[in-house]
Amino acid sequence: MRRMLTGLLFICCCTVFSAATPAQVEAAANQPVNISVFLQAPDPPLQMGDLPVFKGEVTNHGSSVLKSLVVYLSLVSLQPGQEHPVDLEDWSAQKAIRIDQLAPGQTIFQEWKMRLIKSGSFGAALTIVNPASDQPQISPLALFDINPKPTVLAGRILPVAVGIPLLLAGLFFLIWRSRR
């Protein structure tokens, strides 16, 4: 429930921050919503280090051709107590694509690869910006969990990181003593 509320809050924020003047908002409110967007999260289980594909779908339900649409991916951490937007650059994701034109009734499928570098609960959403409208469209939040994976094992690194310099220092000392 808390995750859903955070997701809703995220979507609201995305909408509010699409800076529009009151006149434009009024004009946009009169326009029918003619684009639908949907994002599908990859099938679980997902683990840190995986490189899954998120599938997006954009459909033009209107009667006119839509031109120069920009579709971009947003990611938010929904981990209780750590809710925050995530910088996608760290996740090596392709962030935005441009759709030159979308004919009436046409659906475009697009894939986003993401390297999962952190465990926890996350939500991803697609936002479409149509230059002809001041009302961006946002997909429902695709929720997914990433299982932790032991990447760097302290139990392996510490003995090597401490042992080898000590071994070399001992050898160093022995050589130095034998040459005196």
Partner 1 sequence: MSKVATVAFKECREDVFAVRGMGLYLTASLVLSAFGLLLVGNTELSLLDNAQAVYMMAGIILALAALIAVVRGSDGFAGERDRETLEALLISPASGEDLALGKLTALMVSWLLLYLLAVPYLWAVGSAGQNLSAALLYLFLAGTILMTIFGALVLSLSARVKSFKSAMSAGLILFLFAAAPVALGPSLRQSFIGRVLDWLNPFAVAMNMLDAVIIDSQTGPGRQLLPLMILAGYVAVAVWILWLSSRRIEL
> Is residue 161 close enough to count as binding partner 1 by CB under 8 A?
yes
Q: Which stretch binds partner 1 (CB under 8 A): 19-27, 30-38, 124-132, 153-161?
A: 153-161
Measured in whole angstroms, the distance separating CA 8 from the mean position of its chain's CA atoms is: 16
> Is residue 53 close enough to count as binding partner 1 by CB under 8 A?
no
> Is residue 168 close enough to count as binding partner 1 by CB under 8 A?
yes
Q: Which amino acid is at 157?
A: I
Contact 145, 44 (CB under 8 A): yes
Q: CB nearer to partner 1: give 23 or 154.
A: 154
Binding string, residues 121-150; x marks residues near partner 1 by CB under 8 A: -----------------------------x
d(CA 170, CA 135): 70
Dig out the tokens for 180 from the structure.
């005196």
The one among 94, 117, 125, 137 contacting partner 1 by CB under 8 A: 117
> Is residue 153 close enough to count as binding partner 1 by CB under 8 A?
yes
* HSE, side-chain direction, 13 A CA sphere, residue 140: 7
Q: How far is the CB of 33 from partner 1 (least distance, A)?
A: 37
Q: Which stretch binds partner 1 (CB under 8 A): 30-38, 58-66, 76-84, 159-167?
A: 159-167
d(CA 176, CA 140): 69
- Ramachandran angles phi, psi of 101, nearest 5°: -155, 150
Q: Hey, how many other C-beta atoms are within 10 angstroms of the C-beta on 41?
A: 19
> Is residue 93 close enough to count as binding partner 1 by CB under 8 A?
no
The one among 4, 8, 132, 164 contacting partner 1 by CB under 8 A: 164
The continuous run of DSSP H or E covering 5 comes out as: helix 2-16
In the region spanning residues 12 to 51, those forming contacts with partner 1, defined by CB under 8 A, are 48-49
d(CA 143, CA 159): 40
Contacts to partner 1 by CB under 8 A: 48-49, 115, 117-118, 150-154, 156-162, 164-165, 168-169, 171-172, 175-176, 179
